[in-house]
Structure 1
Amino acid sequence: MHSRQVIAAAILAAVVIGTFAGVGVAGAVAGEDAAMATTTWENVTITQEYRLQPDEPGQIEVTATVSFPDIATEFEMAVPWQGTVTDTDGFESTVGRRYEWTGEMDEATITYDLDANETAQGTGPEPGSGRFLYADTGAWALVRPPDLEFISGRFDATDNDVDVGIDRRRTVAGEGAVGDLLAFLGPHETYTRTAHGQTFELVVPEAASLTAEPDAVLAAFANASDALRVGDRDDRVFTVAAPTSVDWAVLGLQTWDSDMWVEATEPIETADNTWLHEYVHSRQQLNTTNETQWLIEATATYHAAELALDGGLTDFDGFEERLARGTIDRYRDVVLAEQATWTDLAEYDKGGLVIGELDRQIRLATNRSQTFETVFGDLNDDTTIEHEQLLERLESVANGTVASTGDRYLTSDATPSTWTRAQHEAAFGSTPAAFTYELASASASYRIEGPYRNVSTDDIDRLAAGETLVVPVTVTNIGGSAGTYDIALSVEETVVARATGTLDGNESTTISLPHTFEQPGTYSVNIGASRTTIQVSDPGSAVVESIAVDRATLDAPGTVTLSATVRNRQDFPATASVSFTQNGATIGDGSVSLAPNESRTVTRSVTLSEAGRYELGVNGRTTTVVVDPPRFTYAVDETTEITVDGEYRTLSTTEVPPLVVGEAVRIPVAVTNDGGLTGEYTANLSIDGDVATRSQGELAAGESTTVTLEHRFRQPGSYRISVGDMQTVVQVRDPATPVVRRLDLDPPARSEPGNVTVTATVGNGAPVPAAGEIRFIRDGTTVGVESVSLAVNETLTVSKTVALPRPGQYRIRVDNVTASVEVEPTADAASDTVEDRDSSTATAASEVSTATDAAEPTAAAGPGFTAVTAFLVVVVAVFGFTRR
């Protein structure tokens, strides 16, 4: 931005040197009529460049570049008192803050750090919660940098009359925007609109969260520009939406002619409208006195509310509520013409109510031909406004009664009341039809419809191509008169849907505006003053997650249902092309559209007309269906010979007999494929439900084979055997104990020492084989052991030769069967025998010997023998077995 300031007029006939000590001196011409004079401008251009200093919040850097015309010979200026000079080029310090141009270059610079923060004390206009009027956070700054102060200058010209001025320009190093004095430094977006000879610029910093839509703010400014007929329209209105991370002292602030800022969170649809309040200030050129100072904020407050009502930004209730603040108790003793009586915000609230009442009285008195705007406009010319002048204008525009009413409300503590809707319409006419448009539902504002989803949502940042956005809008006529609404949905500034209709005052209706986005892209969408950006993208890709058939086998040709589960794993709509195949050949195609994170199952019926194995698939995933598959039977009939084999026997039988530990059972199984396809069979022999052994193989359709399954039992117990269609329980036990049934001696007696053959008859009456040891015992001494085993119901004989080395009677025992044999003594051995026998008996009583070669007759076998010297006899046993 730039502005020009006149320094002086140089009247030049020959070589004239002029020294100019002030600014703001209008150009002048001497020596001839001004209308005939030839005057040129020569400017000193001062460009101030503002720069953020992120490491030093609260302070910005200013570089002032001063460009001098050829006629300049001397120039002195001063930096602001808030500045600290850090560098100069072409300037040198003189006194205090003053710097003088050296004249060595046409363009000189001075750089200084400027304290950017400005604070307020007490309650300011449109009060906020904090204390800052301007602030620099380091990341961004909202500032009002003061100008360099012109001190003096000297200019030399010879040819023509010259007006010399200062052309002041402002810019930002990096991102930012500047008005006449106000500047924002930092990332931002700028929105513009031109209406009624004014260009409105709205700067929205990246750091700000704007509550109102930018277009709504600009539309309110444009409407107010036309509706407020008080003169003094500036070509440019520069507004910044201030970020709320700073505690501002006010909700908004207007400076210079038409620069202003408003807190970004301030709403636009309200009678207490900060945006319009500051705009009204930009239209004021009121030169007030102490008695009329109240006019500045009173007119801004009232006309902001009136403009909001007429512009459809509020209804009558909101308008009346804003003016009613002027009636609260704290203003009871306020006299507007006496500032000493003011309490906080009196000039806003009570002053706004008084202006409103005067506007109503003027309209009633003039049959609506005049308004307070007429008074405002007449006074809005920078002429000093005295109280009497104000009353004169009230009487001139309306009548003496209105002027007397005004005088009473301004010079006493009298306070007008607010008025009813009927009274308002009597004075102002029916409030015009004014329509508000708002989304029909706050919780789910929009509808998205189409092939992927049909949902209500708040989020329309992104749609899939082919989806339809339906915007349900509640239209309300907040005015007092019937009117026709016309609301359009525009995409990229082209109207794509429109709804029109008529509503009576205070009537509402809900309409829907749809549009289908066919192609991907970024679209600007707006309804009325509301605008948003929508991204439209191609749908994502869904995947076939799994497939299945309702039957994996068919006993005969028939139909199966092939299903595929298609899943969208994204938070965005997706689609998938689905291809059904049979043995690799495509049998059908389709497409599936899915909402975000949705899964869906698609199906197809497939007819399988012949026996065989079929591979059915969807998008590369496959599953197998078998028609008339191999079907195997496993049979063990009543005539099947089962083999039992073990240590004690081998036999064939049609039933599994009781078994002994260690025996194996072998069961033949007839396997038959009754199906229509070759397949692999598995024949199992299970013990107590667990497969103990199996046999596998392949059989063509209709073929049979016999396999033998074998299992050997290692532990006693009761076992359930399952083979094919046969189940039986078998008892497994340890071998039975052989039983000695008879004992035979040969010879039954001897006439002299010698050998006797002992024959034991052994039998097995148990249902299982028997096994064990047969012990031959002579007079308590084991003389032989024989292991025997017997089949069921088998009998055998076991023989052993036992030595009888001395005369006497011997007792022979085999297990529990005993027999006696006597050896007659000889005459010459009688005395010795008795002696030995006594000795032997005494020895034999102490323990039982297991030696097979020791033998001694019992006491009854040798009468007259008292002691016999014992000796060992080695018995050579000869065993013989005879089974019968």
Structure 2
Amino acid sequence: MPPSRRPVAAIALFILLATGAALLAAPAAAQEVPVEHTVSADEPGRVDVTTAVDAPSDAAGLTVVLPRRTDVYETEGFTRVDERTYEWTRSTDRPTLSYTMAGNVTVDRGAGERYTYVATDGWALVRSPRVAVYDRTERLAVDQRHTVAGEGVAGPNVTYLGPAEVRTRDVEGVDQRLRLVVPAAADLRTDPETVLDSMAEAARRLPFGDPDGKVFVVAAPTTVGWAATGLQRGDADMWVRDTQRVAGPRNAWVHEYVHTRQEYEPTEATRWTIEGMADYYAALYSYETGRIDHGTFRRKLEQGDRETHADVRLAEPDTWDDEADYEKGALVYGALDRRLRATADASVGGVVAEFGGGEVTQADLLDAIEAAGGADIRADAERYTETTATPPTWDRAAHAEAFGGAVFTRSVEGYAVDGPYRSESLETPRLVAGERLEMTVVVRNEGPDPGGYVVEFAVDGDLVETRRGRLAPGESTTLSFARDFETPGEYGLRAGGTTATATVEPPGEPRVTELSAAPKTAAPGESVVLRATVVPAADRPAAGTVEFAVDGQPVAGTRVAVTRETTVEATTTFETPGDYTVRAGDRASTRVQVREGASASQTPAERAGAGKGGDGAVTTETDAVGAAPGPIIVLAALAATLLLWGRR
């Protein structure tokens, strides 16, 4: 090598070595640092976490930044830099940090402190810990995994600690798995499969957002005071109170799911769309799947025109009152959606899909609406968001014209009752304890397209049964739902969007209106049939025992269940001559005379038939019912038979 080139070569070698060292000192850009968090909760209000980092072998140095409000009590392979930052000492390839996090997180929204996360002495619903990892000053990609110590289930952003059942659903047509955690401490008002149905339907219907591969949902036990009906955190984790129903205009399961698909960043002027959109789709999809009727859907939107929202301008959050963005936001979003569908074959959902993940200003929103539907609709959007003007709601015909699809109506066709007293139709759901009520509902598709319906039958909010099906336009089907009622009280019935109140009363008392004895004059030891006519004392079925007594002493008792006039009988004998007073119930009485000799006022055949008739049971203290034919009668009948045979 010529001498003049040696300095150049030396410099080149130095640069090469320096560059190589730098390349070796930093992990590859695409590499993710594995981090595992193990979560437990042994004390109320506190969460224990151990975070383990698999340090890259080629890392020059690592620092970890912990979540806020943590208290580190043990380290291995880390040294403290500041309150939340710890540096890897290189003494181990898998350094760990053990620390506590606040389990209880509260917020005051005007009704006092309420929980958004909580750790009780029996279970915990908490934030999943997440850390930031840096190599010198560059933040690294991190693969954060979460496990629980003991019973529980962890998601990327929400963790439940305690016994629980997990249901999953792979959404057909969408590359997404829904994971529903149902804690043992929860009292889920809706069947888990129905919850997953409603979320899967929303996943397929929503026209915007890239569905996350996994959605993690916890049914939050409502034994504490929650600050909201539900809360979504991170990309696709959420909790919803266990009391929240699917069959309603504010389906919180769908509302929170919609948040997982909102990718854009709103400004102050467009912030109303976040909650308004979620509330609108929760109501719309409940209506379109037949879980509520159009009247319920419309009343939900009409909340946006309440007097409390009279001064609200959606583009100015400072003017909002409580729930303005939810209620007026849903009405405005829905009205614009209907206008776009009816006049431009477009939708607000399609507009949102164009935004992607960027920031959306008021001008962006108005421009996009104008591009989709024209200047008139833009003017409406501007007026309804920048002034106090409020759009009107729309009727079922206008909805069908704009949205198409199936439009389901439900109506109660009637009621029926079955049980120990009766089996018949009812005009109103009024029954007595121990009976079974059947509610018959007619579902009709009044929309222009075929579609699937879901009808849930619930009593006092507790799901009893779910029916599903498909109907062509103009087609209807009749569904019957039944439930036994053992306890008196008033019960709320709901089948789809139809509601009623069932009144369950205790059975009434039976009342004896007439009493007879046959024969009224009898010989000692002769059987006497006592017959009582019984009716319900009140205007409902009656149950009880009819006591027969002679001179105040009980001789027989018959258990009755009556809905109308009924006859019950008992048989007794009188061994001693005399006059006897026979009673049944509190009022009816008759007298029986007992005399020596065969002095009965009826023939033996009449006495034998005296015990026939009526629909009540017979309780007797003798083995016979009526009188048996005597030997003379039997011989006479035999002789007559032989005489007739001889004449043939």
Q: Which residue of 2 aligns with 1:169?
A: 145
Q: What SS class does the counterpart of residue 95 from structure 2 fall into? A: strand
- In the alignment, the residues of structure 2 paired with residue 385 and residue 19 of structure 1 have an alpha-carbon distance, to the nearest angstrom, of 40
Q: Kindly indicate whether the alpha-carbon contact (under 8 Å) linking 2:65 and 2:86 is maintained by their aligned counterparts in 1.
A: yes
Q: CA deviation at 1:423?
A: 2.4
1:509 to 468, 472, 478: 478
The residue aligned with 1:371 is: 347
Deviations 1:585-607 (A, max 9, x none): xxxxxxxxxxxxxxxxxxxxxxx
- Which amino acid is 1:481 matched to? G
The residue number in structure 1 matching 2:208 is 230
**Compared CA separation, residues 361 and 323, structure 1 to 2 (3 A):** same
Structure 1 residues 317-361: Cα deviation after superposition (integer angstroms, max 9, x where no partner): 111011010010011111111111111111111111011111111
Partner in structure 2 of residue 295 of structure 1: 273
Aligned counterparts, 1:64-83, within 5 A: 64-83=51-70
Report what 1:715 is aligned to.
none
The answer to whether the aligner puts 1:261 opposite 2:244 as a matched pair is no
Report if aligned partners of 2:59, 2:135 keep a CA contact under 8 Å in 1.
no
Amino acid at match of 1:259: D
1:477/1:505 contact within 8 Å kept = no
Shift of 1:439: 13
1:180 maps to 156
| Cα shift at 1:17 | 6.3
Give the structure 2 partner of residue 107 of structure 1. 94
Offset, 1:476: 3.7
Other-structure match for 2:550: none
Query: What amino acid maps onto 1:71 in structure 2?
Result: D
Measure the CA separation in 1 of the matches of 2:468 and 2:282.
Answer: 30
Measure the CA separation in 1 of the matches of 2:256 and 2:41: 27
The match for 1:63 is 50
The letter of the residue matching 2:83 is G
User: Structure 1 CA distance, aligned partners of 2:387 and 2:481?
Assistant: 55
> What is the deviation of 1:167?
2.1
Q: Distance in 1 between matches of 2:468 and 2:331?
A: 39
Structure 1 residues 248 and 443: alpha-carbon distance in aligned structure 2, compared to 1, 3 A threshold: farther
After superposition, residues 388-467 of structure 1 pair within 5 angstroms as 388-429=363-404, 431-433=406-408
Aligned to 1:120, what secondary structure does the other structure show? strand
Question: Is the alpha carbon distance of 1:481 and 1:222 closer, same or farther for their aligned partners in structure 2, counting shifts above 3 Å?
Answer: same
**Residue deviations 1:804-829 (CA, integer Å, cap 9, x gap):** xxxxxxxxxxxxxxxxxxxxxxxxxx
| 1-structure distance, mates of 2:417, 2:129 | 46
RMSD: 3.9
Unaligned segments of structure 1, at least 5 residues: 1-9, 29-40, 156-162, 445-455, 460-469, 489-497, 514-526, 529-884
When normalised by structure 1's length, the TM-score is 0.46
Out of 7, 28, 34, the position equivalent to 1:45 is: 34
- Encode CA deviations 1:559-593: one digit per residue, 9 max, x unaligned: xxxxxxxxxxxxxxxxxxxxxxxxxxxxxxxxxxx
Q: Secondary structure at the match of 2:447?
A: coil
Deviation, structure 1 residue 59: 0.2
How far apart are residue 230 of structure 1 and its match? Answer: 1.1
State which of 214, 220, 227 in structure 2 corresponds to 1:242: 220
User: What amino acid is aligned across from residue 332 of structure 2 in structure 1?
Assistant: V
* DSSP-derived class of the 2:61 partner: strand
Choose which of 133, 141, 163 in structure 1 pairs with 2:124: 141
Which amino acid counterpart does residue 307 of structure 2 have in structure 1? D
User: Are positions 1:335 and 2:313 aligned together?
Assistant: yes
- Please state whether the residue corresponding to 1:319 is helix, strand or coil: helix
- Per the alignment, do residues 93 and 121 of structure 1 end up closer, same or farther by CA in structure 2, a change over 3 Å counting? same
SS at match of 2:165: strand
After superposition, the C-alpha distances for 1:101-156 in whole angstroms (9 at most, x for unaligned) are 22121112111111111112326xxxx9861111110311111144233344499x
Does the Cα contact within 8 Å between 1:52 and 1:139 map onto a contact in 2?
no
Alpha-carbon deviation of 1:364? 2.0
CA shift, 1:80, in A, is 2.7
Contact 1:310–1:434 (CA<8 Å) still a contact in 2? no
Q: CA deviation at 1:220?
A: 0.7
SS of the residue 2:166 aligns to: strand
Q: What residue is the counterpart of 1:85 in the other structure?
A: 72
**Paired letter, 1:84:** D
The CA deviation at 1:506 is 10
Residue 191 of structure 2 corresponds to 213
1:47 and 1:168 in contact (8 A); partners too: yes
SS of the counterpart of 1:226?
helix
- Aligned to 1:305, the other structure's residue is in SS state helix
Aligned residue pairs total: 446
* Percent identity (aligned): 34
The answer for the alignment partner of 1:481 in structure 2 is 447
In structure 2, the CA distance between the partners of 1:138 and 1:432, relative to structure 1 (3 Å rule), is same
Q: Which letter maps to 1:393?
A: A
Q: CA deviation at 1:458?
A: 12
Do 1:19 and 1:154's aligned partners in 2 also have CA atoms closer than 8 Å?
A: no
Whether contact under 8 Å (1:119, 1:131) holds in the other structure is: yes
When structure 1 is superposed on structure 2, of 265-274 and 369-378 the one drifting more is 369-378
The verdict on how the C-alpha distance between 1:477 and 1:389 changes in structure 2, with shifts beyond 3 A counting, is same
Aligned equivalents of 1:458, 1:152: Cα separation in 2: 72
For 2:22, the equivalent position in structure 1 comes to 16
Pair 1:355-2:333 in alignment? yes
Give 1:289 deviation, angstroms. 1.0
Report if aligned partners of 1:443, 1:458 keep a CA contact under 8 Å in 2. no
Q: Is the 8 A contact 1:202 1:218 kept in 2?
A: yes
Partner of residue 12, structure 2 = none
Question: For the pair shown, which has the larger CA radius of gyration, 1 or 2?
Answer: 1
- Tell me which residue corresponds to 2:573: none
Q: Secondary structure at the match of 1:68?
A: coil
- With over 3 angstroms needed to count, the CA separation of the structure-2 counterparts of 1:486 and 1:253, relative to structure 1, is closer
Deviation at 1:231, TM superposition (A): 2.9
Q: Note the C-alpha offset of 1:424.
A: 2.0
Query: Cα deviations across residues 751-781 of structure 1 (Å, max 9, x unaligned)?
Result: xxxxxxxxxxxxxxxxxxxxxxxxxxxxxxx
Alignment-mate amino acid for residue 216 of structure 2: F
Q: Would you say the 8 A contact 2:176–2:212 is kept in 1?
A: yes
Unaligned runs of 5+ in 2: 1-15, 420-430, 456-466, 483-494, 497-648
* TM-aligned CA distance change 1:73 to 1:332, over 3 Å: same
The aligned residue for residue 535 of structure 1 is: none
Q: Which amino acid aligns with 1:143?
A: V
Aligned-partner Cα distance in 1 for 2:273–2:291: 24
**Letter aligned with residue 341 of structure 2:** R
For 2:263 and 2:414, the matched residues in 1 are separated by 40
Instruction: Report if the CA contact (8 A) 1:434-1:477 is conserved.
Output: yes
Amino acid at match of 1:190: V
Q: Work out whether residues 57 and 138 of structure 1, in 8 Å CA contact, stay in contact via their aligned partners in 2.
A: yes
Hey, what does 1:117 align to over in structure 2? Answer: 104
Q: Does 1:382 align with 2:351?
A: no
Counterpart CA distance in 2 for 1:378 and 1:212 is 35
SS at match of 2:245: coil
Note closer, same or farther for the CA distance 1:219–1:11 as it changes in structure 2 (3 Å cut): farther
- Counterpart CA distance in 2 for 1:11 and 1:427 is 69
The aligned residue for residue 304 of structure 2 is 326
Residues 37, 129 of structure 2: 8 Å contact kept: no
* Residue of structure 1 equivalent to 2:423: none
In the aligned structure 2, how far is the partner of 1:406 from the partner of 1:250?
Answer: 29
Q: Check the 8 A contact 1:42/1:69 in 2, yes or no.
A: no
Please say if 1:280 is aligned against 2:249: no
- Is 2:417–2:438's contact at 8 Å kept on the other side of the alignment? no
Paired residues of 2:412 and 2:442 also in contact (CA < 8 A): yes
* Gap change, CA 1:423 and 1:330, over 3 Å in 2: same
Alignment partner of 1:344 is 2:322: yes
TM norm structure 2: 0.62
Q: How does 1:526-545 map to 2 (within 5 A)?
A: none
Q: Is the 8 A contact 2:367 2:378 kept in 1?
A: yes
Deviations 1:517-568 (CA, angstroms, capped at 9, x unpaired): xxxxxxxxxx99xxxxxxxxxxxxxxxxxxxxxxxxxxxxxxxxxxxxxxxx
SS in 2 for 1:281: helix
Distance (Å, rounded) in 1 between the aligned partners of 2:202 and 2:74: 46
Query: What residue number does 1:687 align with?
Result: none
